[in-house]
Structure 1
Amino acid sequence: MTLAPAGQIDVLEFARELQEAFSFAILDASGASRDLPIPSDSDIQDSVNASESATHRVLLNGEAIGGAVLSIDPVSQRNALDLFYIAPRHQGCGLGHAAWRAIEAHYPATRIWETHTPYLEKRNVHFYVNKCGFKIVAYYNAHHRDPLGPPPEDVAEDADFFRLEKIMRNGP
């Protein structure tokens, strides 16, 4: 399992694959498909183009099987996993965990990793908490909004999600 920087020419393909993986997860979690891609093209572009962004393809024997968009703060080393996916045909085989280990190895100075996931995504919650060692540190919902998130009028009423953190033992 290796990581490769995703070049600009990969962004459209990357977005399509990410949206397919997320759609698969939504269908699996709720039994209903969505007409609009999740995340939106603009959300993906914003993440990929952010100044602190590092976008990687996840490769298995040279084949792209997933990807990650990370926010890397070289000063605080408090880094974030903004978007992460493994193609649906490769899910359930331990490759997500291997990819996460490759990300951790690629950023060994990280003190804290942070990510978010919808509360309905039981597979994601299991993955982050039980496989990768994250801890749930906040539960955001209609009554407790993410102070750094979008304004309430831009958030669906049922858009509940967890904020998770992983404190690294090997950070400075």
Structure 2
Amino acid sequence: MSKISLERLTEPELPAFRSRLQTAFSVAVIEKYGFIGGEPIPPDKDVNDNFYSTGAESFHILSDGQRVGGVIVTINRITNRNHLDFFFIDPEVHSKGLGLAAWKAIEAAYPETERWETGTPYFEQRNIHFYVNKCGFKITEFYCKHHSDPHEAPCEDHPIAGMEDGFFVFEKVMNPQNTEAPS
């Protein structure tokens, strides 16, 4: 089994990291829709906004010292409710158990976490399986045309590829005996 570790992402490395993340995210979109459109997925702005946001911590994921993926998390050291913003494993090393091992390394890096939150588009069945069946997340909400995300502005002019069918929100309670019921 590979030794998984996290290596802090530096600002000069952000463009290459963002390109690798976009390549990994594009695979499922291309499989589903046959193309990704004119803008990378996720857009540069979204990755940059997360990288520079308050509480953001960004890492390369390494397997035996080799970069195989990356993660951006938002850590709230007051509430210990943390958010998994972006998480990817490079496509050429998919299906080798690296995603689950990497997730366990992320959890271990933040032992104070009471709750993790994240989300994924409806069509991304591989991600849904991974978060629910492998990592222990629960689906807490489903945003769609009948139930819109109150935190997102609608974008009917040019919907983001994959989001038109809906978006799942996930939550993982890390220490259930010490936390209140999900809100």
2:128 is aligned with 1:122: no
Aligned residues: 170
1:70 to 2:76 alignment: no
Runs of 4+ in 1 over 3 A off after TM superposition: none
Q: How does the TM-score come out when normalised to structure 2?
A: 0.88
**Which residue number in structure 2 is paired with residue 81 of structure 1?**
84
Partner of residue 53 from structure 2, selected from 36, 50, 53: 50
Check 1:32–1:102 CA distance in 2 against 1; reply closer, same or farther (3 A cut): same
Structure 1 gaps, min length 5 = none
Give the equivalent residue in structure 1 for 2:13. 10
Report the equivalent of 1:168.
Answer: 174
For structure 2, which runs of at least 5 residues remain unmatched after alignment? 179-183
Counterpart Cα distance in 2 of 1:59 and 1:171: 33
Distance in 1 between residues matched to 2:57 and 2:177, nearest whole Å: 19
What is the letter of the counterpart of residue 83 of structure 2?
A
Residues 170 and 153 of structure 1, relative CA distance in 2, 3 Å threshold: closer
Cα RMSD after superposing both structures: 1.6
Tell me the distance in 2 between the aligned counterparts of 1:33 and 1:138.
28
Residue 24 of structure 1: aligned partner:
27
Q: Which moved more, 1:41-50 or 1:30-39?
A: 30-39
TM-score by length of 1: 0.94
Is the contact between residue 123 and residue 165 of structure 2 (CA under 8 Å) also seen in structure 1? Answer: no
Instruction: Give the one of 143, 151, 154 matched to 2:153.
Output: 151
Identity of aligned residues (%): 41
